[in-house]
């Protein structure tokens, strides 16, 4: 990997100059000499020298990789030009997943209440979590994906109560989770709702005893049909009722009570409650005390989250697992009292939860530290994301204002099919292509933006074959595949015939592995999504290049040797786009 090799050489040279710093190498601007460059302005204060002088001293100390042809000081930058032959060879090299590393990464995502259909707000959670799991696995991590089933929560209790209270019978004409969701909405719109709490409480207690699991599972299976349609993957289901039965909360509290920062005040507003003083690890709090167990004995959801996190990272045991019978995921396992014992013992965890849960997630990390496991606290990461608007509108499931994921998929497929029929009426498999384009549009729209920025999903923009969309990248892949399909026999590649156009395309191909590693390290798929957009743009610029009004980069009609070089670059590009899309959970159609 070119950039990282340059960064390491610069790091070693800086150490010789007395600075243990790592600088980031980036693409050089097109109007500047060289292919990559590093800014030196930040070193001026440290070394008390102008950046131009630092560039000269750094250049003299650099032990550069053999692929560097020239080092070029440019103002306060040090730029590097890569040898064309090495550049092309690297661009043509098949890309493979990185070697596996030690240590398990556990990713929890989706975790939708099992009481109604998935709505558009869940799309971002699923796309972020599933894409990150794929990226981390490719980057060499051992990954386990977990879906938490809150079968003892109030939402599930209210839905099951509503189904019984209104004596509703499913006729099979709609998905069961939609049917159940209508009962939930009806209950919240019922003027008698305040007077029905006793019945809801009875159902809640039955759920806690594990008596209504099959009723919840019926809703969950319908939800999983949607998860499968979104191309999401899971390894484990963990049911909250199993956590309750395993006594994980009590075990976690016993661990925490050994800390001097967890105690029961005898007076004041927290008298009789078990509280945690988070101030050693969350500075600046107006009130540093957080209740784990109320004075009446009821545990808060903070405490439940902490107990579950302790299990994930191997501080607690007690859950059992067995194969989960379902038509969507043949290798999926579920927690169950009669299963085999299993504890992940993850060194790192990633909880994909919206930004409103940032404070509870900070408390989870604080609890790990209070329990004496600073290294685990550092490994507990909250992938926080902002909300999703649909065509400018905010969703509300309780008020019945949410749009379901199933509806979004159906509408996107309908619109994609119309576009395909217009652009390619002779397409051999229009419906399948429309499904792939719709999925690409939805998932790409959910991950292309930095997670902490709000998304406004709009069908027309997401499904466009131009701009920063999934279909734009898919179309770039299909165009490359079309050329390869027509190529026939190949001869020998002649690197010496490369033109500046091949050089530019090769440079774009070089950064794929860098983008994957950066996305894995930063724990955000938008880095890879942006790279795929940039690569597609570079490919389109190459494909459409003109000189004197004529195509400058014909592939199939190029002279022998150059033809093969161009075909090799097109194949590398096609495979890179396909791999990159797959890491975002997006299919790569061969014909669009």
- For 336-350, how does the pLDDT look when each residue is reduced to its tens digit (9 = 90+)? 999 999 999 999 999
Give the tokens for residue 79. Answer: 């730029």
pLDDT at 398: 54
Percent residues over pLDDT 70 in the chain? 99
Q: Are 542 and 501 in contact (CB under 8 A)?
A: yes
Are 554 and 487 a contacting pair, CB within 8 Å? no
Torsion of CA 351, 357, 358, 361, to 10 degrees: -50
The pLDDT, as a whole number, for residue 399 is 56
Under a CB-based contact definition with an 8 Å cutoff, are residues 266 and 286 in contact? no
d(CA 445, CA 48): 46
Q: What's the pLDDT at 495?
A: 97
Give residue 395's pLDDT: 64
Cα angle at 512 between 508 and 515, to 5 degrees? 115
Handedness of CA 51, 54, 60, 65 (dihedral sign): negative
pLDDT at 215: 97
Instruction: Please report, for residues 202, 328, 541, the alpha-carbon distance to residue 501 in angstroms, rounded to integers and kept in the order given.
Output: 71, 46, 9
DSSP 508-541: HHHTHHHHHHHHHHHT-THHHHHHHHHHHHHHHH
Q: Per-residue pLDDT for the chain (592 aa), expressed as one digit of tens each?
A: 899 999 999 999 999 888 888 999 999 988 899 999 999 998 888 888 898 888 888 998 999 999 999 999 988 899 999 999 999 999 999 999 999 999 999 999 999 999 999 998 899 999 999 999 999 999 999 999 999 999 999 999 999 999 999 999 999 999 999 999 999 999 999 999 999 999 999 999 999 888 899 999 999 999 999 999 999 999 999 999 999 899 999 999 999 999 999 999 999 999 999 999 999 888 888 888 999 999 888 888 889 999 999 999 999 999 999 999 999 999 999 999 999 999 999 999 999 999 999 999 999 999 999 999 999 999 999 999 998 988 888 765 555 567 899 999 999 999 999 999 998 899 999 999 999 999 999 999 999 999 999 999 888 898 898 889 999 999 999 999 999 999 999 999 999 999 999 999 999 999 999 999 999 999 999 999 999 999 999 999 999 999 999 999 999 999 999 999 999 999 999 999 999 999 999 999 999 8
Strand partners, 394: none
Rg from Cα positions in the chain: 28
The pTM score is 0.94
The three-state (H, E, C) secondary structure of 201-222, written as one string: HHHHHHHHCCCCHHHHHHHHHH
Residue 337 φ then ψ, to 5°:
-60, -30
Residue 514 in contact with residue 4, Cβ under 8 Å? Answer: yes
Q: Please report the pLDDT score of residue 301 as a whole number.
A: 85
Q: In angstroms, rounded to a whole number, what is the distance separating the alpha carbons of residues 442 and 279?
A: 41
The predicted-structure confidence for 265-311, as pLDDT tens digits, reads as follows 999 999 999 999 999 888 888 888 999 999 888 888 889 999 999 99
Q: Report which DSSP code applies to 357.
A: G
* pLDDT value at residue 284: 85
Degrees (nearest 5) of the Cα angle 278, 283, 287? Answer: 60
Q: What pLDDT score does 106 carry?
A: 98
Supply the pLDDT for residue 400: 52
């Amino acid at each position: 990997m070119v950039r990282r090799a340059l960064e390491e050489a610069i790091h070693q040279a800086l150490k010789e100059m007395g600075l243990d710093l790592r600088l980031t190498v980036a693409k050089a601007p097109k109007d500047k000499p060289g292919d990559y460059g590093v800014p030196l302005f930040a070193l001026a204060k440290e070394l008390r020298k102008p950046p131009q002088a630092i560039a000269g001293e750094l250049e003299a100390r650099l032990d550069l990789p053999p692929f560097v042809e020239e080092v070029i000081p440019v103002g306060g930058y040090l730029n590097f030009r890569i040898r064309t032959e090495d550049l092309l060879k690297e661009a043509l090299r098949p890309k493979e997943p990185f070697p596996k590393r030690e240590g398990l990464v556990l990713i929890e995502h989706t975790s939708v209440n099992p009481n109604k259909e998935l709505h558009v707000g869940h799309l971002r959670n699923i796309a972020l979590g599933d894409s990150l799991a794929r990226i981390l696995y490719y980057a060499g991590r051992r990954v386990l994906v977990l879906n938490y089933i809150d079968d003892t929560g109030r939402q599930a209790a209210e839905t099951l109560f509503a189904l019984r209270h209104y004596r509703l019978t499913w006729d099979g004409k709609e998905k069961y989770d939609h049917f159940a969701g209508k009962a939930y909405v009806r209950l919240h719109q019922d003027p008698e709702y305040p007077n029905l709490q006793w019945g809801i409480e009875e159902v809640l207690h039955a759920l806690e005893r594990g008596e209504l699991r099959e009723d919840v599972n019926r809703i969950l299976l319908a939800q999983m049909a949607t998860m499968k349609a979104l191309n999401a993957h899971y390894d484990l289901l963990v049911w909250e009722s199993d956590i309750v039965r395993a006594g994980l909360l009590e075990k976690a509290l016993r661990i925490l009570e050994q800390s001097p920062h967890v105690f029961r005040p005898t007076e004041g507003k927290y008298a009789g409650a078990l509280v945690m003083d988070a101030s050693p690890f969350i500075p600046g709090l107006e009130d540093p005390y957080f209740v784990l167990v109320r004075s009446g004995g009821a545990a808060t959801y903070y405490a439940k989250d902490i107990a579950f996190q302790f299990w994930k990272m191997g501080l607690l045991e007690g859950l059992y697992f067995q194969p989960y019978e379902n038509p969507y995921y043949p290798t999926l396992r579920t927690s169950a009292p009669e299963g085999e014992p299993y504890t992940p013992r993850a060194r790192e965890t990633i909880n994909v939860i919206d930004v409103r849960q940032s404070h509870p997630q900070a408390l989870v990390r604080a609890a790990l530290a209070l329990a004496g496991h600073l290294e685990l606290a550092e490994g507990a990461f909250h992938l926080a994301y902002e909300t999703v608007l649909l065509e400018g509108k905010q969703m509300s499931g309780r008020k019945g204002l949410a749009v379901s994921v199933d509806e979004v998929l159906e509408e996107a497929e309908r619109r994609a099919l119309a576009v395909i029929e217009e652009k390619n009426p002779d397409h051999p498999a229009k419906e399948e292509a429309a499904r792939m384009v719709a999925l690409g549009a939805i998932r790409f729209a959910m991950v292309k933006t930095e997670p902490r920025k709000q998304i406004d999903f709009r069908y027309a923009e997401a499904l466009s074959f131009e701009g920063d969309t999934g279909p734009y990248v898919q179309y770039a892949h299909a165009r490359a595949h079309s050329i390869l399909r027509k190529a026939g026999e190949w001869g020998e590649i002649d690197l010496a015939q490369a033109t500046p156009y091949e050089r530019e395309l090769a440079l774009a191909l070089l950064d794929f592995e860098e983008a994957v590693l950066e996305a894995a390290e930063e724990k955000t798929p938008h880095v890879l999504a942006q790279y795929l957009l940039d690569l597609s743009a570079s490919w389109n610029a190459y494909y459409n290049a003109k000189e004197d009004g004529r195509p400058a980069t014909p592939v199939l009609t190029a002279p022998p040797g150059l033809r093969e070089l161009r075909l090799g670059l097109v194949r590398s590009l096609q495979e890179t786009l396909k791999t990159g899309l797959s890491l975002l959970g997006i299919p790569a159609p061969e014909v669009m």
